[in-house]
Amino acid sequence: MTATKPSARAGKQVEQTDWVALVGQFGALIVLVVICVIFWWLEPAFASQRNIFNVLRQVSIYGVLAVGMTYVILTGGIDLSIGSLLAFAGLVAASVEKGGRGLLSVGAAGEAAGYGVPAAAAAAITVGLLGGLLQGLSISKLKVPPFIVTLGGMSIFRGATLLWSGGQPISAFRDEYKVFGQGFIGPVPIPVVIFALVAIVGFVGLKYMRFGRHIYATGGNAEAARLSGLNTNRVITSVYVISGLCAGFAGFLLSSRLNSAEQVAGIGYELTVIAGVVIGGTSLFGGEGGIFGTVVGILLIGVLSNGLTLLNVNPYFQQIVVGLIIVFAVYFDQLVKRRRR
């Protein structure tokens, strides 16, 4: 008799712990579905095909950035420089496309002087890769905290953006350049397709490749991973390179979508992206999370913004809502961990 009661209690405890873990894993998805139903009930236009694709297009740039940020945060790091790096890469891509810097319209140095869309995209990605590599090496080799390195990078890349352009935007691109940000494949905007492809590649990399396991190991316990023979410095450098690559590519996409590359592009993007990653269940302390949750988190922010706008809610209130969700997401993450212990 005495052996049966503890067993029953243990069974209940296991069920309770599993339930908490299940809610922790799919909580953001549940909230997303509930919010979508509420907005659809309050404003039927929310569920229209046009509005759905509009939401997806709006979050596509954030989504590309968030994939790279997920890799960084899984190692226990942070990247505050992605917005500034995006702006710098976008301006470099625009100047390569136009054949010069600070060009406001197609003219003497316009179509004939440009180097084409492939060269522009390659230039943006190269800028992002180099920016990520420099920061990754500073963190892994020089042992400077990621917060400090990327905070400095945020200022450095923004200053480089201003120097490169001389304070002028670059705009009025050719149709071949604009199609990546403004075009459609059937009814689906091209940026949405690109975001989906980037998310799939990021998911496969984390879920099914050895490199993904190394990232989780480094984020879970970097010292234990190092002692087991894993080159943690290489892993840490690599995730910042990936984040930089995503920032560079996103800079190209944003300039294509807006038909303009500007010095103020990307301001505040890092906060929205980090919010989406954290809301999606990736722990700020590293080792837990994934791309699926990140996609859900980014969509949740986009749906909130769009739905509240349709309901004519004050845009300042939207920032308060997102901030509260971030705090709750981190609190719930800590709650799940305590229950597991």
- In whole numbers, what is the pLDDT of the chain averaged over residues? 86
What residue numbers bound the domain in which 55 lies? 23-340
* pLDDT, tens digit (0-9, with 9 covering 90-100), for 112-163: 467 889 999 999 999 999 999 999 999 999 999 999 999 999 999 999 999 9
Domain-located, residue 12: no
Domain-located, residue 4: no
* pLDDT, tens digit (0-9, with 9 covering 90-100), for 64-87: 999 999 999 999 999 999 999 999
Residue 107 pLDDT: 44
Nearest to 74 by CA among 232, 230, 228: 232
Domain-located, residue 8: no
Nearest to 322 by CA among 31, 7, 26, 15: 31
Amino acid letter, 158: R
Domain-located, residue 80: yes
State the average pLDDT over residues 266-270: 92
Domain-located, residue 332: yes
Q: Which residue has the tokens 């901030």?
A: 323
Tally of structural domains, the chain = 1
Strands 260-261 and 184-185: unpaired
Nearest to 242 by CA among 13, 20, 65, 59: 65
Domain-located, residue 195: yes
Residue 319 pLDDT: 78
State the average pLDDT over residues 171-186: 90
DSSP string, 184-227: EETTEEHHHHHHHHHHHHHHHHHHHSHHHHHHHHHHH-HHHHHH
* pLDDT, tens digit (0-9, with 9 covering 90-100), for 184-200: 998 999 999 999 999 99
Domain-located, residue 7: no
Residue pair 51/86 in contact by the 8 Å Cβ criterion: no
Domain-located, residue 33: yes
DSSP string, 35-68: HHHHHHHH-GGGGSHHHHHHHHHHHHHHHHHHHH
In 219-301, beta strands by DSSP E: 260-261
CA distance 116 to 114: 6
- pLDDT band for 14, please (50, 70, 90 cuts): very low
Residue 133 pLDDT: 97
Among 7-11, 94-98, 219-223, the range scoring the smallest mean pLDDT is: 7-11
Residue pair 64/194 in contact by the 8 Å Cβ criterion: yes
Tokens of 106: 């197609």
Q: What is the CATH number of the domain that holds 155?
A: 1.10.3470
Q: Which residue has the higher pLDDT, 25 or 118?
A: 118
Residue pair 95/164 in contact by the 8 Å Cβ criterion: yes
Residue 110 pLDDT: 43
Residue 169 has pLDDT above 90, yes or no: no
* Cα separations in angstroms, 155 against 50, 99, 162: 38, 26, 11
* pLDDT, tens digit (0-9, with 9 covering 90-100), for 272-328: 999 899 888 888 888 888 999 999 999 999 998 899 888 888 877 877 877 787 777
Rounded (10°) CA dihedral 17, 20, 24, 30: 140
Amino acid letter, 312: N
